Amino acid sequence: MSDRGRFPIHPWSIVETELDLSELARTESLFALSNGHIGLRANLDEGEPFGIPGTYLNSFFEERPLPYAEAGYGFPETGQTVVDVTNGKLIRLMVDDSPFDLRYGKLLSHVRTLDLRTGLLNREADWVSPAGKQVRVRSNRLVSFTQRSIAAIEYIVEAVDQPVRIVLQSELVANEAQPVLTRDPRKAAALASPLEPVSHDVDGHGVVLVHRTKQSQLMLATGMAHVVEATSRHEIDVDAREEWARTTIICELQPGESLRLIKYVGYGWSALRSHTAIRDQVAAALDAAKFLGWDGLVEQQRTTLDDFWDAADVEITGNDELQQAIRFALFHVMQAGIRAEGRAIPSKGLTGPGYDGHTFWDTEGFVLPPLTYTMPHAAADALRWRHSTLDLAKARATELGLGGAAFPWRTIRGQECSAYWPAGTAAFHINADVALAVERLFTAQGDVEFLDDVGLELLIETARLWATLGHFGPDAHWHVDGVTGPDEYSAIVDDNVFTNLAAARNLRAAARLSRLRPATAARLGVGEQEIGLWDLCADAVHIEWDDRLGVHPQSAKFTGHEVWDFEAWQDRYPLLLNAPYFDLYRKQVVKQADLVLAMHWFGEAFTDEQKARNVDYYERITVRDSSLSACTQAVMAAEVGHLDLAYRYAQEAALIDLLDLHHNTSDGLHMASLGGAWIALVEGFGGLRQSGSMLSLRPALPAALERMCFSVRWQGVRLRAEVTHDSVTLSVHDGPDALITLLVDGETVDVDADAPVTLGLKSRTPLLPTPTQPIGREPMNVEER
């Protein structure tokens, strides 16, 4: 059966109508559940067969040495890898003497549904054992948004046509066997049985196992408790050892009778607290979950999602597949951040082991924008995590001979974990990405407490790095040399336009907000002389320009390089796996939006004509070997009037995992691209920007869409915009006194709660014809696939 047949399109759910065992790893990612603290891959309840087993706790990792052929000063020596912690999902089933294993017997039907409105993963299976006994198995799984430490499973077994003896084994298993996912023996060794036993406790309320990682010395507690409902006689037995615990339920079922099990699983970890404290915390969480009950957890889940969708939903008329995809994307972005609370948001969320569970600039650049406007507390939490690592970033800057703070390119707990020094050492734009996220959040939500607590210090310390990294040249311009920008097919370049503009924006924001909050700035040691230096650097920033071509070179001398032979390499993408980096570095070939991203984030620095010419030039040499690119290309294609091209890029960003476009969804979902789906639609077709202290919209729809509605939170108000080809209707829905003043197509508009405001839209005519892309790298056309 085709993908479209197995995954029919529904507006509010992802449904798999037939199980394909060869696709298990992919669907384990698609149906993963998380609350930002706990992450459960969608492994089958009985545990086997599996693609990649996975239960993750945010920032729970093991250390491993980093490999170098030749070491150098400042190279990170230790890596961090996310750990598959104790598995609490397991519920094994015996039907008489036959294990419920879908590789045996006869599977009559198997349907899984991820409900985006309830947050539940539902599974329904009808199975006949090798001995001819038919049972119907139904399960519902959740990771609680309100009870941070709790996951829960409802598991129901029904006898269909004959009496059967049912044995359920609900388990906790530590140090699960892992498939070989890496050739690096250091990483493999770190992940082989990473958990050492500390204690195991059994009482009338449940079981708690406590383990500790071997190298990072993090303490983990995992517990389970149960409620059993059966009309017939049943027996329960509990046992535990160092690496496993098991609750066994036995009963006889007549046809039509069922056994219902509610399993509560609790998780907790700490680098500081004692094992008894963590054990007791998990036991208490389990007691609280049982007190609330399954129905209470389900009701809280629905209430949380109702509030989220009221502020976050994007409604589309004209493309049902894109409608489903944008809600899928927003659901997973929400899951990744809703209860992270002082932890990072990894690039894969908690859906898989990809990228070792690391956080990159993806978070601030692509995940935090939708969270800022839909769930701002989660964006603030992510930035509070960055602030919690500030001492490590300052130490890294000192090690590199710089002032301020140098945030890591990739990390779990704040230390640099990249063994690739052109990124780990030279991609300083991560600092400005963090700073822009701070500025964006404060402008959108006006949270002065956040600014005083963490935001201004992040701006100040990142500005201090730029003030020591950049320099004034003979031309009196301020330059930043020897850095790596967003495009990883260029490295160690001078005057990367994105980096220079990002640094200038960082410096100006630090100066402006230090003047706004002088007491906080003084507490952080900032005086007018330092502020004046920041302004001076920002005002004198050098921006590359090519008079001959009439475009901005991505970095110094970039447009003078030889153009990559795209025709010769058309069948060998991604290039990073097939071409030597030194050759990529000296040619005009772009992995992902870089100069185009600069126009998106810092649009005020470019004229409309420059944007049009730059889009035209860089479309022809950008190969999108990164999932970070399609959303930005969608936004800028829309801004310069190529709406149909933007539409194709938007679909690519939104469908990256549902269609497995990069063939690696099995390792976990692409959180940046999922956040980018919202960016492509709301910032692309909605034209959402921050213009100074005001919200700005410039809507325009592609021909394929008839209508789009979206909502954003702005300064305590929920604004709803309904866009058609001819008009936009604006309304607020956050109380009778709600009022917002914004720009629409450059005109100031007031919207209050009394009545919606409908405005006509200006047409958007492109200055240049629609550009082409490198051969074989055209954006996906969903209708033609």
Nearest to 636 by CA among 588, 597, 605, 604: 597
Is residue 735 classed exposed, middle or buried when 0-12, 13-18 and 19+ CB atoms within 10 A define those classes?
exposed
Map 233-286 to HEC letters. Answer: CEEEEEEECCCEEEEEEEEEECCCCEEEEEEEEEEEEECCCCHHHHHHHHHHHH
Tokens of 312: 């976050």
Q: Are 726 and 666 in contact (CB under 8 A)?
A: no
Backbone angles phi, psi at 315, to 5 degrees: -100, 135
Q: Which two tokens stand for residue 746?
A: 């450059």
Question: Is-catalytic flag, 488?
Answer: yes
Question: Three-state SS string across 507-532, please?
Answer: HHHHHHHHHHCHHHHHHCCCCHHHHH
Among 63, 321, 488, 639, the one annotated catalytic: 488
Which of 769, 727, 771, 766 lies closest to 749 in space, CA to CA?
727
Residue 322's nearest CA partner among 676, 681, 670, 679 is: 681
Asked whether the CA dihedral 734, 739, 744, 749 is positive or negative, the reply is positive
Residue 260: exposure state from Cβ atoms within 10 A (0-12, 13-18, ≥19) = middle
* Tokens linked to 155: 């598991």
Ramachandran assignment for 746, one of left (phi > 0), alpha (psi -120 to 50 degrees), beta (any other)? left
Could you tell me if 153 and 89 are in contact, meaning their C-beta atoms sit under 8 angstroms apart?
A: yes
Cis peptide before 369 (omega within 30 of 0): no
Strand order across the beta sheet in which 707-714 lies: 314-317, 707-714, 717-723, 727-732, 757-760
Q: Which helix (H) or strand (E) holds 776?
A: none
- Dihedral angle, C-alpha 385, 591, 624, 628, nearest 10 °: 10
Phi, psi of 478 (to 5 degrees): -95, 125
Six-digit token pair at 208? 């708690």
User: Given CA atoms 730, 732, 736, 738 in this order, what sign does their dihedral have?
Assistant: negative
Asked if residue 474 has a cis previous peptide bond (ω within 30° of 0), the answer is no
Cα–Cα dist 240/115, whole Å? 34
Strands 587-588, 562-563: pairing is: parallel
Catalytic site residues? Answer: 488
